[in-house]
A and B are shown apart, each in its own frame.
Chain A
Amino acid sequence: MHFTPITPYHYLLLSAALFSVGVIGVMVRRNIIILFMSIELMFNAVNINLVAFAALYRHEVGQAFAVFVIAVAAAEAAVGLGIILAFYRNKETLNIDEMNLMKG
Chain B
Amino acid sequence: MMPLGFTRLDFYYLLPELIVTAGAVALLGGDVLLARGRHRLLTWVGLAFLGAAAVALAFISGREGTVAQGMYSVDGFAVFFKLLFLVAAALTILMSHRYLDVEGARPGEYYFLVLCATLGMMVMAAGVDLVTLFIGLETMAVSFYILVGYIKPSRRSNEASIKYFLLGTFSLGLLLYGMSLLYGLTGSTELRTIATTLAGGRGGPLLALAVMLLVAGMGFKIAAVPFHAWAPDVYEGAPTPITAFISVGSKAASFAMLLRIFFEGLPAFRMDGLGTIFGQPLGWTYFFYVLSIVSMTLGNLAALTQNNLKRMLAYSSIAHAGYLLIGIVAATPRGVMAALVYLMVYTFMQLGAFAIVVLMRRQDVIGDELKDLSGLSVRQPAAAVAMLIFMLSLGGIPPTAGFMGKFSLFAAAIESGYVGLAIIGVLNSAISLYYYVRVVVYMWVRREEAAAPPVVMSRALALVLIVAVAGTLVLGVYPRALFDLAQASASTLGRADQALGLLR
**Residues on A with beta carbons closer than 8 Å to the beta carbon of B483:** none
User: Is residue A4 contacting chain B, with contact meaning CB distance below 8 A?
Assistant: no
**Residues on B with beta carbons closer than 8 Å to the beta carbon of A12:** 184
Number of interface residues of A (CB under 8 A): 45
Binding site secondary structure of chain B: helix
- The 8 A CB mask of B139-155 against A (1 = contact, 0 = none) is 00010011001001001
Do residues B232 and A104 form an inter-chain contact, with CB atoms below 8 A?
yes
User: Is residue B379 contacting chain A, with contact meaning CB distance below 8 A?
Assistant: no
User: Is residue B130 contacting chain A, with contact meaning CB distance below 8 A?
Assistant: yes
* Best-surrounded residue of A65, A96, A102 (most CB of chain B within 10 A): A102
- Contact with A102, one of B184, B188, B233 (Cβ below 8 angstroms): B233
**Residues on A with beta carbons closer than 8 Å to the beta carbon of B237:** 101-102
How many residue pairs link A and B with beta carbons under 8 A? The number is: 126
Q: How far is the CA of A104 from the CA of B130 in the complex (A)?
A: 36
Q: How far is the CA of A52 from the CA of B180 in the complex (A)?
A: 10
User: Is residue A79 contacting chain B, with contact meaning CB distance below 8 A?
Assistant: yes
Do residues A83 and B145 form an inter-chain contact, with CB atoms below 8 A?
yes
Binding site secondary structure of chain A: helix
Number of interface residues of B (CB under 8 A): 43
- Contact with B177, one of A35, A45, A91 (Cβ below 8 angstroms): A45
Do residues B138 and A75 form an inter-chain contact, with CB atoms below 8 A?
yes
A residues adjacent to B (C-beta < 8 A): 8, 12, 15, 19, 22-23, 26, 32, 35-36, 39, 42-43, 45-46, 49-50, 52-53, 56-57, 59, 61-62, 64-65, 68-69, 72, 75-76, 79-80, 82-84, 86-87, 90-91, 96, 99, 101-102, 104
* 3 nearest A-B residue pairs (beta carbon): A42-B173, A49-B180, A53-B184
B residues adjacent to A (C-beta < 8 A): 130-131, 134-135, 138, 142, 145-146, 149, 152, 155-156, 158-163, 165-166, 169-170, 173-174, 176-177, 179-181, 183-184, 187-189, 232-233, 236-237, 302, 305-306, 308, 311
| Interchain residue pairs with CB less than 8 A apart (16) | A26-B166, A39-B166, A43-B176, A45-B177, A49-B180, A50-B180, A56-B184, A76-B138, A79-B145, A83-B149, A83-B161, A83-B165, A87-B162, A101-B156, A104-B302, A104-B308
